[in-house]
Structure 1
């Protein structure tokens, strides 16, 4: 549906040459000047192409504000193909029968016992056994889901369930706890668990996908390679598709240099295809290294391979993020004139760049051009426009466009609602953010942990009780608080002078193996000084030591040495 906002700009077409473009590799010379280094071929610098006036200075103010949304990188062909391979290979593994849905009352009871064991001297295993609830596959998955941000209780529950007579973990429960360990960067435990899964024949392609993603996200390159070798050891396919997937995951985590090293090391074992080079291209573009990105692009051309639309889109986005704006425009116009024809992802990249630079008239111009070209704008593009209007301070357009989407389509998705809620809270509009949250829930969307954290922080800025209600609602929905949730919640208590409650949740947070929160400890100590307890931080540190949390205790002790607050008149802390 056309937007009810008009634009005054349009993008004109150029008439570039018909061959696949080549890119100069630009480096700075010894005297500070810029040198264009060319690979083989008779390419001309893109800067020699004429540039239409509307584009001469476009995107000049790009990249001044941090993006609200992640860059619109879609799944690249290596990952798309390999995920299809994963699905085919692991259908048998993932179809493991979970049985009927777990009893909600049993899930709640087990979760309550696990939470209470954090502050209890009694053993968690004994408390769980006393519940007299027999674990099932679906029950174990549901309970672990509740603690996906707290690996220690989740892993202890997983081990307890495996020790119950008559129950044995299956591939799904193993993968679930593997995912929790990866999320919390417990890599040593992950490695041991993967070995255990291999011995018990519980490994699946899904297991490898979780492991590679977790290791790549934390730059654990050697462990990524170890997973690759593990696949070989247990008879899984490690052909070119799997290798391309590994490169792609490294690229997605901004590890272009590491992906290139892996490619160079393994080049003798595989014959690279366009998907291999596309993954390398994405890796260098992600880290804004256009010298290497151009080298990879030119190598594609030299090898006689034809870049597909995915490669063009990645290069286009790399040029924009590398602030080669005129070259990006020329590549875009070249695609329109000679192919490959821009697709929805291409337009999304351009619109996202304009929105990021607060060039909303130009963004709307490309939006209209996209519709004329026969590409239906996706929800992601509408979300980009919403974000752009919000960053430009045009909150009336944000509310209007969101209402239009809800009434006429395309229907907002979870990312849309999260983006709007973040915009509203950043503009000090907590009531409106709460209204959008309620609308999202009414439409059947389950808020993410980030949604709760954002709204809770906004509500605490004005109302203590409303912030607490959001915490309670998060708990009722079965969403496990993460470190950021605790930090927001504890800071909210301190902000409203509830230091006693803050103390309780600091201990709860640390006992879940999370680090002590970064909060206003000066105010925290000041509140306790006023009731004659100036050494509260040291007391907290001592409690942590008695529970074996030595790292957090030492950190808090150092923090206590930096806090200097004079005791004021006595009063009671609520």
Structure 2
């Protein structure tokens, strides 16, 4: 039964083409001269299966018995083989750790940053903090710590809400000669932001402020993180701190803050941010900034204000894309200015799905479902690829709100299969 399960786990790696895809990034790292201490050889799948079976069955056996069972496969052990074994036991630390200890005693096997990081990742995912810290200290002593080590370690500790230990990890690595570096801090903050751990990223940033002074990039990741969480109070605090320390928010930060304010119905505050940037740093405003403002002003029916932004954009030599024009078209239709909307559509050389969606959405807002269906047919004629949102808009337009929740199977979305 066990062998059958392990075969199932290892099956995707048996095909040479699939195995190449699965391990290509690993091999690229291992081929790096700075990391490459062992040559890469093809993985023998039967050997991998036998070794994984031994590790699973004898994970609680004495070292002498386990080492005796593994000794006959010594020549096959290299960093790539170790990584494949780790991929088999991603959340089971004990078999991997015992194999890790064994490979350290194999004379022809030398661990590197990639294999140590993998061991650290397995220990973190299995929540074995003792092995986790032991591995961290050993990496520090051997000088194998890199930015990926920091990302793995901080994510593990942040998920466990060990905030003081997050800071302690930086201090520990400094003892081993991996000094406090701004680039490393920014890498960690970016990684934590992407994992939705922005509160933890903020804690680490401010606790390390005496050792590593944050810069505009650090604050940018924090603002993005709090905006994604909808915590505009914290995002505003970071924004103000960033400005007080002399860092100017770049266009991406401005747009992120504006969009978060728009989404939370704080239209006036969003426009204040836009006007402030417009007055002080007009050159920083590009197509994406104008597109964002035009989109939300059209959603609120402020078509004259949107037209003003559109004209200013054109005067500055910024060419509008289809997404911007789609917002204008939708805004005109919501105000009942159908002819003007169609005039803009006729002037577009290559209309895409965003243009048609703007038309359909606007016509349905005016309760012109039949006309929206004609636009739908025009999309098909022009070879525009349809998506599920296209169908849902039309079904809602024809069936109304009852179409989604109605009990009649003939007019219920759950029983209508489209496309």
TM-score by length of 1: 0.40
Relative contact order, higher structure (CA 8 A, sep 6+): 1
**Given the superposition, is the C-alpha separation of residues 402 and 135 from structure 1 closer, same or farther in structure 2, using an over 3 Å criterion?**
farther
Correspondence 1:181 to 2:126: no
Other-structure match for 1:105: 46
Counterpart secondary structure, 2:158: helix
Distance (whole Å) between structure 1 residues aligned to residue 240 and residue 173 of structure 2: 33
Give the Å deviation of 1:329.
Answer: 6.5
Of 232, 254, 260, 1:312 maps to: 254
Give the Å deviation of 1:153.
Answer: 1.9
Distance (whole Å) between structure 1 residues aligned to residue 61 and residue 207 of structure 2: 52
Give the Å deviation of 1:341.
Answer: 2.0
Other-structure match for 1:142: 84
Other-structure match for 2:312: none
- Bigger Cα displacement from structure 2, 308-317 vs 120-129: 120-129
Question: What is the correspondence of 1:496-535 to structure 2 with a 5 Å cutoff?
Answer: none
Distance (whole Å) between structure 2 residues aligned to residue 303 and residue 118 of structure 1: 54
Question: What is the correspondence of 1:364-375 to structure 2 with a 5 Å cutoff?
Answer: 368-369=322-323
Q: CA RMSD in A?
A: 4.6
Give the Å deviation of 1:257.
Answer: 4.2
Other-structure match for 1:151: 93
Correspondence 1:274 to 2:216: yes
Distance (whole Å) between structure 1 residues aligned to residue 68 and residue 36 of structure 2: 32
Distance (whole Å) between structure 1 residues aligned to residue 122 and residue 229 of structure 2: 28
Of 131, 137, 157, 1:215 maps to: 157
Other-structure match for 1:341: 286
Give the Å deviation of 1:336.
Answer: 9.3
Question: What is the correspondence of 1:380-459 to structure 2 with a 5 Å cutoff?
Answer: 401=386
Distance (whole Å) between structure 1 residues aligned to residue 66 and residue 324 of structure 2: 58
Q: Deviations over 1:316-353 (max 9, x none)?
A: 454366x2353586479768995432549x97xx89xx
**Given the superposition, is the C-alpha separation of residues 121 and 207 from structure 1 closer, same or farther in structure 2, using an over 3 Å criterion?**
closer
Give the Å deviation of 1:253.
Answer: 4.2
**Given the superposition, is the C-alpha separation of residues 326 and 279 from structure 1 closer, same or farther in structure 2, using an over 3 Å criterion?**
same
Matched-pair contact (CA < 8 Å) for 1:175–1:206: yes
**Given the superposition, is the C-alpha separation of residues 306 and 157 from structure 1 closer, same or farther in structure 2, using an over 3 Å criterion?**
same
Give the Å deviation of 1:232.
Answer: 1.7
Q: Deviations over 1:459-492 (max 9, x none)?
A: xxxxxxxxxxxxxxxxxxxxxxxxxxxxxxxxxx
Distance (whole Å) between structure 2 residues aligned to residue 303 and residue 132 of structure 1: 57
Correspondence 1:299 to 2:299: no
Distance (whole Å) between structure 2 residues aligned to residue 302 and residue 200 of structure 1: 41
Correspondence 1:166 to 2:108: yes
Question: What is the correspondence of 1:7-26 to structure 2 with a 5 Å cutoff?
Answer: none
Question: What is the correspondence of 1:213-252 to structure 2 with a 5 Å cutoff?
Answer: 213-252=155-194
Correspondence 1:203 to 2:145: yes
Give the Å deviation of 1:133.
Answer: 5.3
**Given the superposition, is the C-alpha separation of residues 292 and 173 from structure 1 closer, same or farther in structure 2, using an over 3 Å criterion?**
closer
Counterpart secondary structure, 2:104: helix
User: Structure 1: any 5+ residue segments left out of the alignment?
Assistant: 1-86, 355-365, 374-380, 382-396, 404-426, 433-574
Matched-pair contact (CA < 8 Å) for 1:256–1:283: yes
Distance (whole Å) between structure 2 residues aligned to residue 152 and residue 100 of structure 1: 26
Matched-pair contact (CA < 8 Å) for 1:147–1:154: yes
TM-score by length of 2: 0.53
Give the Å deviation of 1:187.
Answer: 2.3
Give the Å deviation of 1:307.
Answer: 0.9
Distance (whole Å) between structure 1 residues aligned to residue 228 and residue 33 of structure 2: 35
Distance (whole Å) between structure 2 residues aligned to residue 293 and residue 206 of structure 1: 27
Give the Å deviation of 1:308.
Answer: 0.6
**Given the superposition, is the C-alpha separation of residues 281 and 92 from structure 1 closer, same or farther in structure 2, using an over 3 Å criterion?**
farther
Correspondence 1:326 to 2:267: yes
**Given the superposition, is the C-alpha separation of residues 93 and 313 from structure 1 closer, same or farther in structure 2, using an over 3 Å criterion?**
farther
Other-structure match for 1:288: 230
Distance (whole Å) between structure 2 residues aligned to residue 326 and residue 284 of structure 1: 18
Distance (whole Å) between structure 1 residues aligned to residue 139 and residue 217 of structure 2: 31
Matched-pair contact (CA < 8 Å) for 1:137–1:169: yes
Distance (whole Å) between structure 2 residues aligned to residue 288 and residue 205 of structure 1: 29
Other-structure match for 2:13: none
User: Structure 2: any 5+ residue segments left out of the alignment?
Assistant: 1-27, 300-319, 328-353, 355-379, 389-412
Distance (whole Å) between structure 1 residues aligned to residue 288 and residue 187 of structure 2: 23
Aligned residues: 280
Other-structure match for 1:440: none
Distance (whole Å) between structure 1 residues aligned to residue 159 and residue 241 of structure 2: 28
Greater fraction helix: 2
Q: Deviations over 1:415-442 (max 9, x none)?
A: xxxxxxxxxxxx999xx9xxxxxxxxxx
**Given the superposition, is the C-alpha separation of residues 313 and 184 from structure 1 closer, same or farther in structure 2, using an over 3 Å criterion?**
farther
Distance (whole Å) between structure 1 residues aligned to residue 168 and residue 120 of structure 2: 16
Matched-pair contact (CA < 8 Å) for 2:163–2:204: no
Report which of the two structures shows the higher radius of gyration computed on alpha carbons.
Answer: 2
Q: Deviations over 1:190-209 (max 9, x none)?
A: 11111112223333333233
Distance (whole Å) between structure 2 residues aligned to residue 230 and residue 92 of structure 1: 27
